[in-house]
Chains A and B, each alone.
Chain A
Amino acid sequence: MDLLRFITAGSVDDGKSTLIGRLLYDTKSVLTDQMDAIERASKTRNQAQQTNAPIDLALLTDGLRSEREQGITIDVAYKYFQTPTRKYISIDAPGHIQYTRNMVTGASNADLAVVLIDARHGVIEQTKRHSLIASMLGIEHVLVAVNKMDLVNYSESVFLDIASTYKLLAESLKINNLTIIPVSALNGDNVATKTTQMTWYAGESVLEHLENVQIRQGVNVADARFPVQYVIRPQTAALPDYRGYAGKLLSGVLKKGDEVTVLPSGRNTQIESIEFGEKEIGVAIAPQSVVLHLKDNLDISRGDMVVPTNNQPILSQDIDTIVCWMDDRKALRVGNKYVLQHGVARVRCVVKAIDYKIDVNTYEKNSAPNELLLNDVARITLRSATALPYDSYTQNRANGTMILIDETSNITVGACMIEERK
């Protein structure tokens, strides 16, 4: 059975948590004690606010005290469910602009993004920001759920207006696999099953789409990249010379006998054998975590990368990259130094230039600002202390990502997607 990870995105109160709650509820993934707990919480809140609202399914994902008190999502929540077809990891992201970095966290591993839009408000800035992030991250599929259709009388024309606005936006972001569905997360219309409220809509429900969509079409099977994570050297009497290079194959395929090069040193050798769970396997496929043995005894340590000799990544100290800036305390400026983490390798780097900033409303490239502030998305140029073996994000996602770490606070402050160098 395969695994689909999806994130819900969109602005505050567009209904992200409610949609996930509804999916969990309708797939019978909410167990009785969990249901009792949110029933109790809903009742308490109703009493406090003197209302008589139905059970709030959003409480299933809003797991923190402050989230329940404020009725908002602060950080991503991971929920798990399963149908006979697939296993799902649902990632409920916060809508508030202030918590965008948490949305980026959740989105970075998603195969599909569900972008919610409140039918009464249509496409707004946060819809655009989250769509921009989804497209930068190269999330394979975008499903737009035009939500709260119950509050606009299930009107087809409202839906069509929003759909056509979004299609234009998707075009400018080069979002290719787009599906737009009218829903009411609250009532469950077109969530797990098709509703009778909108007979004018002939397409799939949200769950039907999740069940049918083809994922991981974009996985790179061509370019083998194996960063060495850890060297296994038992040095025991039984295994005095054993030396295994443990790591995860990021992309591509490696086979016994392959001619390989170790970067950054550039030395060539051959794969003598590949091990998994102390058994030899002939072939490793991404993203398996395996152990490599090489013919020659080279000096290899953590952070080095094993690649096919005839298919090597770029090896350079100069890196052009898109960055999502995530530090709410300090700005990114030219000349600033950071720790750069690419795969398992860490080196120092300096910001050489801020090339342009992307306007989240118009997606236009604004020329060279002086600094980047929280939630800015920009293209920057970095120079690292030593050469890094990288690919561009579009060519090979798994080897085209980096993070920037603040040297004093140690916090992750930048999410980077490497660009093709001209």
Chain B
Amino acid sequence: MKNRGVNEDQQPASMDALDYLEAEAIHILREVAGQFERPALLFSGGKDSITLVHLALKAFRPGKFPFPLVHIDTGHNFKEATDFRDTLAQSLDEKLIVRYVEDTIRTKNLQEQTGKNATRNWLQTFTLLDTIEEFEFDCCIGGARRDEEKARAKERIFSFRDEFGQWDPKRQRPELWDLFNGKIQKGENVRVFPISNWTEMDVWNYIRREKIGLPPIYFSHQREMILRDGHLLANSAFIQKDPDDQIVTRQVRFRTVGDMTCTAAVESEAVLIDDVIAEIMATRVSERGETRIDDQQTEAAMEDRKKGGYF
């Protein structure tokens, strides 16, 4: 337990943009706790979900979280991220539930994508929906932000999903002021995005301000990479090699952390968070554009996945 001493200097004379965003996110997390019987926080070990966990500490400590952390593990995750996930859950003494896409593939006899840019991204949805059913989760908190992608830019903070997990972008519930309506029938589900209004820069600035720890892959390190169509992918057994692939060793960091099969790295010497922030501020390419291979396949990739029950 942390020191609970008086610290009057903590009080900001006025709130800046980050303080507003933080207050809004804490409010949303507490609404989840108040409105749902069996919520869960989807946790991947990436910077956005790590930020969510930090916000949950601010919302609920010294109490325990009113929800478990849940990870849908594709089996293609970076080891650094899953290690971080396990260590964090343990050090916070919070419950962690991990479900494996591998198991769903086996029990449901699902067909995996094959070939060059094969990913398990789409298959995650099946495992997620099964996990929701298994634990009867009525709410899943996610770390998606509206600045990430054009379909996400349209989604409510409390995003209603029907009994099949589907998002209907043409019939979203009105969402007024700070009054969140999480009322649902049994079997339905709400996805809640507390950091909807945060930008990538806000997350980084917050991580710096709050001194939040991150997995080492976010910082510059040397790694063996596959150079493919101008993207650098971490060399791993999960990636089916292509004759045109080149294996190279580079000094890289990752700007997002998804599956190894579809997350590209950027070349970087940035070892400290200040350097990472400076580099991201200078770049002219968006986070997903630079690092996610999966979104580039069709114009409406994200919208289609969300309609199918994706995060």
Contact = CB atoms under 8 A, between A and B. Distances in A.
Interface centre among A78, A282, A341, by most chain B C-beta atoms within 10 angstroms, is A78
A1 B16 contact: yes
Interface stretch (B71-79, B111-119, B176-184, B223-231): B176-184
A421 to B, nearest CB: 21
Interface string B48-73: 00000000011111111010000000
Contact of A403 (B2, B181, B285): B181
Interface in A367-422: 401-403, 405, 410-412, 415
Contacts of B21: 3
Nearest to A397: B177
A229 B23 CA distance: 13
Contacts of B16: 1-2
B294 to A, nearest CB: 14
B243 interface: no
Contacts of A247: 30
B199 interface: yes
B31 A344 contact: yes
B10 A248 contact: no
Nearest to B61: A278
A326 B170 contact: no
Nearest to A250: B178
Given A2-B17, A76-B154, A412-B176, A246 B170 contact: no
A278 B199 CA distance: 26
Contact of A64 (B4, B24, B61, B154): B154
**A interface, how many residues as a size bin?**
35 or more
Interface residues of B, number: 70
Contacts of B87: none
Contacts of A363: none
Nearest to B16: A1
Contacts of B61: 232, 277-278
Interface centre among A233, A285, A288, by most chain B C-beta atoms within 10 angstroms, is A288
B177 A109 contact: yes
Nearest to B302: A63
A239 interface: yes
Contacts of B178: 109, 248
Contacts of A3: 17, 20-21
B169 A74 contact: yes
B305 to A, nearest CB: 12
B interface secondary structure, majority: loop
Contacts of A289: 22-23, 26-27, 30, 58-59
Interface string A49-93: 000000000001101111010000011111110100001010000
A242 B62 contact: yes
A interface secondary structure, majority: mixed
Given A229-B34, A278-B62, A78 B153 contact: yes
Interface string B160-180: 000000000110111111110
A283 interface: yes
A283 B11 contact: yes
A238 B64 CA distance: 13
Nearest to A246: B30
Nearest to A32: B284
B9 to A, nearest CB: 9
A407 B61 CA distance: 34
B181 A412 contact: yes
B4 A280 contact: yes
B236 to A, nearest CB: 25
Contacts of A60: 150
Contacts of A356: none
A74 B196 CA distance: 19
Given A32-B285, A281-B10, A283-B11, A64 B17 contact: no
B286 A78 contact: no
Contacts of B201: 82
A285 B22 CA distance: 14
Contact of B176 (A238, A246, A403): A403
A302 interface: yes
A281 B303 contact: no
Nearest to B2: A278
Contact of B146 (A37, A78, A87, A412): A78
Interface string B269-297: 00000000000000111100110000000
Interface stretch (A100-108, A122-130, A146-154, A198-206): A100-108
B96 to A, nearest CB: 20
A31 interface: yes
Q: Which 10 A-B pairs have the closest CB atoms?
A: A33-B289, A63-B150, A289-B26, A410-B183, A232-B63, A3-B17, A229-B30, A108-B176, A31-B286, A280-B6
14 contacts: A3-B17, A31-B285, A60-B150, A64-B169, A65-B299, A78-B147, A79-B153, A108-B176, A232-B60, A281-B8, A281-B10, A289-B23, A339-B183, A403-B176
Given A78-B153, A82-B201, A108-B177, 8 more contacts: A87-B17, A105-B156, A230-B30, A232-B62, A234-B63, A287-B20, A289-B22, A412-B181
